Amino acid sequence: MYIQVEMDERMLSNHEVLRVSQQVEPLQAVTGIETENRYRIVDHNGDPILFAYEESGFMSRQLLGGHRPITMNVIGREGQLLMVARRKHFWFLSHLELLYPDGTLLGKMEQRFHLFGRRFNLIGVQGESAMVQGPMFRPHTFWVRRNGGDLAKITKEWGGLAQELVTVADHFTIEFHGPQVEEHLRWAIIGAAFAIDLEYFENRGGRGGLRPGVLGGHSYDAGGFTGKGF
């Protein structure tokens, strides 16, 4: 059970690097049966600061795979609910909402058609936007950009071919580039890391591989990020 509280306005501001690690259930590791995703988010010293867990139906995970409806709850060390990421079922283009614990919209990510890859718009409640872009020949790296400047980098950690073939857990590093990255944008970037994992690294054959089309350019459009929006 979790406690609903207001998001700490300074909780992420002092962290320049975060690591997001998937916690794999033994059932999934042994049988390949898709279980609910769980993540542990630690600082540069390895100390846990956040946890996240998926809520979804068993049959939707097995039958719909990466297209399933999903709710991702982000909680603090004391069990307090801090953010909710929610996605409806989709066939072609996904849509992820980022919510405060009271249900107020923090932002949303909207996937757009892109000829050579994937594209999302990350939009604040007042219409402000930024971009998360994955270079064509660096499929494990995603840049968060606004007005031509780099705000953060999300990197899928590559453990080597042998490890990638046998492991089902994914690990990401988030690097924030300076104090100009506002608190609410930092929360949205954590949501973007979940979306990247679900969209690009969770495939029908199991985890750890790239979904079709990941070698194309990918981008997400996230800008003003002020107040309770971004």
- Encode pLDDT of 29-54 as tens digits: 555 666 788 999 999 999 999 999 99
- End-to-end alpha-carbon separation of the chain, Å? 29
pLDDT of 183-212, one tens digit each? 888 998 999 899 888 887 775 344 443 443
Q: What CATH topology corresponds to 3-222?
A: Porin (2.40.160)
> Apex CA 55: angle with CA 49 and CA 60, to 5°?
145
Counted residue by residue, the chain has a size of 230
Q: Name the residue ranges covered by the structural domains of the chain.
A: 3-222
Q: What is the pLDDT of residue 28?
A: 56
Query: Across all residues in the chain, what is the average pLDDT?
Result: 76
Mean pLDDT along residues 60-87: 89
- The yes-or-no verdict on residue 17 having pLDDT over 90 is yes
- What average pLDDT does range 129-149 have in this prediction? 81
Distance CA 184, CA 225 (A): 7
Q: Which residue has the tokens 């690690």?
A: 21
Torsion sign (Cα): 6, 11, 12, 13: positive
What is the predicted pLDDT for the residue at 50?
Answer: 95
- Cα 19 to Cα 43: distance, rounded to the nearest angstrom: 6
- Predicted TM-score (pTM) of this structure: 0.79
Nearest alpha-carbon partner for 151 in 184, 106, 196: 184
